[in-house]
Amino acid sequence: MTPLRSALLWASRNRWLRASVPRWPFVRRATRRFMPGEDLAAALAAAERFRADGIGVWLTHLGENLTSLEEAQAVTDHYVDALQQVAQAGLRAEISVKPTQLGLDLDAAATLANCRRLAASQAEAGGMFWLDMEDHTYVDRTLALVRTLRNDGASVGVCLQAYLHRTAADLEALAGSGIGVRLVKGAYAEPADVAFPAKRDVDLNFLALAARMLELSRGRLGLRSAFATHDIGLLERIAALAERSGINRASYEIGMLYGIHSADLRRLAQAGHEVRCLIAYGTAWYPWYLRRLAERPANVLFVLRQLVPGR
């Protein structure tokens, strides 16, 4: 892990910085690269703009590690309302939610109840309900949630992280379950005995996992596979592998964050790929934003440009 990445991940967890930095005007300006705005209306407006290009979206209302079940209930209510608006607008939009935002640190039964409510709301709006993955201490509990939801008959997917050593085994355990998988590289600070510390090893594992996901997409239940990365070279290797294997471009999805490689996102959609953009919104953006910078430290240059007067 590079010193800059380590510093950014440390800053994402620092309580004083979390309370202070979001008030700094230049930082608020810099977040516009990754967010269309802080409220649901801005997120839905961005989703509407993507519709014209044939691009679907994942919506995520930022927040994590809530401290009360009342907060978790409010988050659930918010997503139910969001999905009702999605259905009314006819948008191709799905929600992607962190389990700790639904109460996982507080009450497992209440979290499951909130998940069941959101899975039902997503079904009414169309599409799959997604659970995000947080750091490695939450993996087992998150996978238990998606298995329970799938046993209920819900259409549910989960995010798996390529930098974790365990992910290949987790993927095999999900094979044939009908649970969708969105593969990402991973953005949390993890010890070396849990996660690959070197970018090259993460990339190699991402490619190996993607190859296995493509194989599973041809199975009886047809794994819904989504590859979420801004590494265009890696995406091109996955697309080439799929083509050699006779797998249609519409059989898997490519995902990117709002504001990054937007031209590539549209180019891939025009080339016949199934493409989705993850649109994040909300006021609790600080830790999420720092982890995005840590994923690609070159983005720090964008933040520094906001210091230039008149920008």
77 among known catalytic residues: no
Contact yes or no for 249/4 (Cβ under 8 A): no
Residue 65 lies in a domain: yes
Average pLDDT over residues 122-150: 97
For residue 139, what is the domain's CATH number?
3.20.20.220
The confidence band for 87, taking pLDDT boundaries of 50, 70 and 90, is very high
| Pairing mode of beta strands 180-184, 274-281 | unpaired
| Catalytic residue from among 105, 150, 170, 182 | 182
Contact yes or no for 201/174 (Cβ under 8 A): no
Q: What percent of the chain has pLDDT over 90?
A: 67
Q: Two tokens at 266? A: 């549209």
- Closest alpha carbon to 155 in 174, 175, 184, 178: 178
182 among known catalytic residues: yes
Euclidean distance between CA atoms 226 and 82, whole angstroms: 23
pLDDT above 80 for 35: no
Alpha-carbon distance values, 113 to 79, 90, 102, 139, 309 (Å):
14, 26, 9, 19, 49
| Pairing mode of beta strands 93-97, 156-161 | unpaired
304, amino acid identity: L
Residue 24 lies in a domain: no
Which residue's entry shows tokens 């994040």?
280
Q: Two tokens at 170? A: 């987790």
Residue 57 lies in a domain: yes
Euclidean distance between CA atoms 94 and 293, whole angstroms: 24
Euclidean distance between CA atoms 167 and 162, whole angstroms: 6
Average pLDDT over residues 248-265: 90
pLDDT above 70 for 18: no
Phi-psi region of 55 (alpha: psi -120 to 50; beta: other; left: phi over 0): beta
Contact yes or no for 129/156 (Cβ under 8 A): yes
Contact yes or no for 134/107 (Cβ under 8 A): no
Please tell me the predicted confidence (pLDDT) of residue 20: 58
Residue 265 lies in a domain: yes
- CB 144: neighbour CB atoms within 10 A? 13
222, amino acid identity: G
Residue 215 lies in a domain: yes
Specify burial of residue 27 (Cβ count, 10 A radius: 0-12, 13-18, 19+). Answer: middle
Q: Which residue has the higher pLDDT, 83 or 16?
A: 83
Specify burial of residue 116 (Cβ count, 10 A radius: 0-12, 13-18, 19+). Answer: middle
Q: Which residue has the higher pLDDT, 258 or 124?
A: 124
Q: Two tokens at 20? A: 């202070």
pLDDT above 60 for 301: no
Domain count within the chain: 1
Contact yes or no for 226/180 (Cβ under 8 A): yes
Rg for the chain (alpha carbons), in Å? 19
Q: Which residue has the higher pLDDT, 42 or 298?
A: 42
pLDDT above 80 for 94: yes
Average pLDDT over residues 108-135: 97
Q: Which residue has the higher pLDDT, 67 or 165?
A: 165
Euclidean distance between CA atoms 16 and 35, whole angstroms: 23
Q: Which domain holds residue 208?
A: 36-284
Residue 245 lies in a domain: yes
Residue 300 lies in a domain: no
End-to-end CA distance of the chain: 32
Residue 11 lies in a domain: no
| Catalytic residue from among 5, 105, 132, 224 | 132
Please tell me the predicted confidence (pLDDT) of residue 309: 43
